[in-house]
Structure 1
Amino acid sequence: MGFEGDEESASDVRQNSKFRLNSPIVQVALIGLVCFCCPGMYNALAGMGGGGQVNHKAANNANTALYATFAVFGILGGGIYNILGPRLTLFAGCLTYALYAGSFLDYNHQHSQTFVVVAGALLGVGAGLLWAGQGAIMTSYPTAKRKGTYISIFWSIFNMGGVIGGLIPFILNYNRGEAASVNDGTYIGFMCFMVAGALLSLAILPPSKVVRDDGTRCTNITNSSVSIELVEILKLFTNWKMLLIFPAAWGGNFFYTYQFNYVNGELFNLRTRGFNNVFYWGAQMLGSWGIGYLMDFSFKSRRRRGFFGIAVVAVLGTAIWGGGLANQLRYSRDDMLEKLDFKDSGSAYVGPFLLYFSFGLLDAMFQSMIYWVIGALADSSEILSRYSGFYKEYKAAGAAVAWQIDAHNVSYLNQLIVNWALITVSYPMLFLLVMLAVKDDNDTQDQAPEAALF
C-alpha cells in the first residue's frame, strides 16, 4: 500500500479547509461519531444493569462470551486493520453491535439466553476490529503536541452516544418506574443508531490519504500481510512496554460490572438508571476534556505532562473509590436498600448519584490518560493499531473474568476491593513506562504547529 496523490504540494493542502474529509480532525470526529452510534449505545445499554433486564444472568453470560472473543480479536484486530483497511474492518465490526441489541429485543419475548450469548460472542469479534482501528486513528493522526486534545475530541463525541443512549430508556420508560425490564422500543432505538454507525464507518479514509494542514502525511504506510502481522503481534507479548501497560489494561474494563450492576443497577429503579446514565456519560465528556488539556498543555516537557496526568488520575481515583467503599458498606447481596427514584427519593438520592457520576468522570480520565501514553510510544498507524489491540485484548480478558465473578455471586464488597486494587497497581507501572519510554526529544519530530482546532 503506498501513498496516493503525492504530487499534491504542502501549500495546496494548506489552502484547503481544515474540515476537508481527509483532514485528521475530521477523521477523528468521524470515528468518534461511529463510536457514538455503536459502542456509545452499547455502553448505555450495559449501563442500565443486566442489559435492561431484571435478571442479570443472560447479560452476564453474554458479556462473558463477548469479552472472551474480544480478548482474542482485540489483539488480532490491529493486524486485520492493517491488512483490510479501515472501511471493511470498521463496517463489519459495527454490524455486530446492532445484532447484540436485537438479541435483547428477542429475549424480551422468547426469554432464551442462546441468541443473547451467541450475539455477545459475535460482538466480541466486532468490537476487537472496531477498537483496534479506532485506537490507530485516534493516536496516530494528530501530532505529538496535540494527542491529548484529539483524544478528548474523540472521547467527548463517543460518550455523547452514552448520553443520548441514556435518554432513550429514560424517556421510553419514564412512566414505568417500577417495571422490571425495558420495553421493545428501547432496543429498537439502540439498533437504529448502531446501523447508522455502520454506514457512517464507510466514510473513514485509509491513513495514506489523510493529510495534516501543514501538508505532512499522518503515517508511512508499508505493505502488510498475514505473516507480517502474526510475527509483529507475537512480539507484543515480550515487549516490555506492553507488559507495563498490562495492569491498566486488565483493570480498564473490570470495574464496569460493579458500577453498572451494583451501583446503578441495584440502587436505582428503572427510569432512574437511564437518567443516571445521561450524567455518567456526560461526566466522561468532562473528564476527557480535563485530562486531555493537562496532558497537552500543563508543562512544556512531554514527560512531565505524562507524570502529572498520571498523578492527577491516581489522586482522584483513590478519593472516588474511597467514596465507593463508604457507600458499599451500607448494603450487600443479602441486605439490599430500597431502590431510589430521582424524583421521589429526595436527599437520599444525591449521594449515590454523585458517586455514579464520579465513576464516569474517573473512567474517562483513566482511559484517556492511557491512550495518551500509548500514543506517546510511537507515531506509526501500523504500530499503534497493534498497541491499541494489545491494550483492548487485555481489557476484554479482564472484563470476561469480572462478569463471571459476578455470575458466581461474589460479594459486592469483594468486587469493589478487587477493582480498586487493580486500578491502583496500574499507576506506578504507567509512571515507570513514561519515565523509560516517553522522550521529550519526540517533540522535535512534530511537524509545524497546528492552527486552532475550531
Structure 2
Amino acid sequence: MSNFDAAPPNTHAGGDDDALRPKGNGPMNHPVPPQYADENVDMIAYSKNVPLWKRVCQHSLTQMMLLSVQAFCGPAMTDAIAGLGGGGLATPQTSNIATAVNYALLAIVCLLGGPIVNKLGTKWALALIQDVGTSLSRDVGACGKYLALWIVSRNMGQLVGGVINLAKNHHKGASGGVAPDTYIAFLIIESMALPFAFLISPLENVVRSDGTRILVSERIGTKQEFQKIKVTMASKLVVLSALWAFWSFFYSDTWSTYLGTYFSVRSRALSSLVSPFFCIIGCFGLGFILDMKNVSQRRRAQIGLITVVILNLGVYIWSIIMQTRFNAASPGKVDWDEHLYPTAFLPYFFVQTTGPLSQSYMYWLLSSFATDAQANMRNGAAFRCLEAVGQAVSYGMNTQIKTSLLIGFCVTFGLLALAFAPMLVLVNTVPDHIPADVIAEEQEKVYTKTENIEASKGA
C-alpha cells in the first residue's frame, strides 16, 4: 500500500484508503483476472480474432463519441431552448416554474444513478433516462480532451438548435414568444438519440488506445448500491465539492431570465446560435491545460481551478454592472441593431463558456480520484444531483420575475466565493496518480509475478 501514500484519505467513493483494494478474494487480490478486472489486451491477438467493426465500436473514443451523440440530441436541445431566454416564451415565469420542477426530478434520478446503471446497464439507462450516463471511458492523458469532446457535442447541438431558432424567428419587431413550430424540430432531433444509445458497449468490453480495459469492480446488489451512495455522499470528495456543484449551474436561469427580459425575440434567437461558439474553443483549451504532459496532476488541477474562477469573476462583475444600469433605466427590448446590444449581450455570451468550463473542470477533477468506473459513476452522479438541486433552486428563485435580477447575480457571485475555499482544499489533495491506474499497475505486477512463478515451476 506504500504506492497509495500520496493519495488523500477518504476522497473516493469507498470512503477510506483501504477501500482502494477490496478485501478477501475480490477482483484486486485474485491472481487470475476475473470478468470485471482491469487487464491489458493482447492487441495483436485482439486484431486477429476480433472483427474490425467490433474493435472500432468497442474503442474508448467511439464510446465517448456515442455518449457525445446523446449529449448532442438530448441536453443540447434543452440548452438551445434555454438559449432563447425563458424557454422562448413571451415571459420567463412559466418556463422557470416548469424547469425548476424538471431539475428537482432530475436530482432524484441522478442520486439513484448508480443503482439504475448497475441494474439496467449503461446502454439501457441511456436509452430510458436522460442524463444518467456519465464518463464511461478514460484514456490515459486524454481525459480532459474527452470531456471537452462531450461538452463540445452539447454546444454543437446548441449551434444546430440556434440555426433552427434564427431561421424561424429572424423578423424584426416580432413580439411575444418564438414561433411554435420551432419546438417541433427540437423534438425530432431529440428522438434520434435512442438508436445510438443501443450501440453503447458494456464497460468491461471497452478497450482504450493503449490496449487496456476500464477498471470495473464486481456487480453488487441494489441494497449494497444504496449503501455505497450513502458513503459517496458523505465522502470528503463530495462534501468538499458540494458547494461548487450547487453553484456550477446556478447561473443558468438568472442569465436566461436576463436574456428573456431585456432582449427582442430575434436577438434571443441569435444568442442561441452564437453563444456556443466560444464555449467550444474554451472547453478544448481547458482540456489541453488539464492534459499537459510535463506538469503534475495536482499542479494541473490548481491551474485549472484558478483559470475557471478568474474567468467567472470577470463575467459576474460585468453582469452586475449591466444589471445595475438596467435597474436605473430599463432598456426595454434590446434588438441586435441597437448600439447597446454588444455591451448588454456579451456578459450572457461569455457566461455560456465560463459555466461549462466550471462543470468540465469538476468532472475531470472527480475522475482524478476514481478507483474504478463504478466509483467514478457514483461520484459523477452525486455531483450531477447537486448541480440539479442548484438549478432547481435557481429557476425557483427566478419565478419571481418582479424581483430584481441583481439579486440572482449577487447570489451566484456569493456562491462562487463560498465554494472556492473547500475546492482549494480538495484540489491541494489531488493524488499524483489516479488510484484506478495505480491499482491496475499493481494488479499487473501480481499477474506477471504469478505467471513467472508458474513458468519457472513448469520449467
Alignment TM class, shorter chain as reference: 0.7 to 0.9
Kept in 2, the 8 Å contact 1:132–1:385? The answer is no
Aligned counterparts, 1:120-269, within 5 A: 130-133=130-133, 135-137=134-136, 141-175=137-171, 177-262=173-258, 264-269=259-264
- The equivalent position to 2:121 in structure 1, one of 75, 80, 85, is 85
Matched, 1:364 2:356: yes
RMSD of Structure 2 on Structure 1 (CA): 2.5
- The equivalent position to 2:370 in structure 1, one of 366, 372, 378, is 378
Residue type matched to 2:246 in 1? W
**TM-score (structure 1 length as normaliser):** 0.83
Residue type matched to 1:321 in 2? Y
**TM-score (structure 2 length as normaliser):** 0.82
- The equivalent position to 2:404 in structure 1, one of 401, 408, 411, is 411
Q: Deviations over 1:21-69 (max 9, x none)?
A: 1111111111111110110000111121221111322211111211111
- The equivalent position to 1:393 in structure 2, one of 360, 364, 385, is 385
The 1:92/1:366 distance shift into structure 2, 3 A limit, reads: same
Corresponding residue for residue 332 of structure 2: 338
Q: Give the superposition deviation at 1:368.
A: 1.1
Matched, 1:11 2:5: no
The 1:18/1:357 distance shift into structure 2, 3 A limit, reads: farther
Q: Give the superposition deviation at 1:335.
A: 4.9
- Cα distance in 1 between the residues matched to 2:437 and 2:375: 20
SS in 1 for 2:170: coil
Unaligned stretches of 5+ in structure 1?
94-129, 449-454
- The equivalent position to 1:433 in structure 2, one of 411, 426, 430, is 426
- Cα distance in 2 between the residues matched to 1:299 and 1:413: 43
Residue type matched to 2:422 in 1? M
Matched, 1:305 2:300: yes
Corresponding residue for residue 22 of structure 1: 58
SS in 1 for 2:175: coil
Identity %: 25
Q: Give the superposition deviation at 1:433.
A: 0.8
- Cα distance in 2 between the residues matched to 1:313 and 1:337: 31
Unaligned stretches of 5+ in structure 2?
1-33, 442-459
How many residue pairs were aligned? 404
After superposing the two structures, state which structure 1 stretch, 176-185 or 426-435, moved more: 176-185
Q: Give the superposition deviation at 1:177.
A: 4.3
Q: Deviations over 1:322-363 (max 9, x none)?
A: 11111111113x953122222x21x32111232222111211
Kept in 2, the 8 Å contact 1:132–1:392? The answer is no
Q: Give the superposition deviation at 1:86.
A: 1.3
- Cα distance in 2 between the residues matched to 1:7 and 1:287: 34
- The equivalent position to 2:266 in structure 1, one of 268, 271, 282, is 271
Corresponding residue for residue 321 of structure 2: 326
Kept in 1, the 8 Å contact 2:170–2:269? The answer is no
Matched, 1:73 2:73: no
Corresponding residue for residue 285 of structure 1: 280
Kept in 2, the 8 Å contact 1:37–1:194? The answer is yes
Kept in 2, the 8 Å contact 1:19–1:26? The answer is no
- Cα distance in 2 between the residues matched to 1:436 and 1:214: 27
Considering fraction of residues, name the structure with more helix: 1
Residue type matched to 2:72 in 1? F
The 1:3/1:386 distance shift into structure 2, 3 A limit, reads: closer
Structure with higher Rg: it is 2
SS in 1 for 2:156: helix
Kept in 2, the 8 Å contact 1:303–1:440? The answer is no
- Cα distance in 2 between the residues matched to 1:253 and 1:401: 10
SS in 2 for 1:193: helix
Q: Deviations over 1:276-335 (max 9, x none)?
A: 122222222112111111111175211000001101111121111111111111113x95
Corresponding residue for residue 106 of structure 1: none
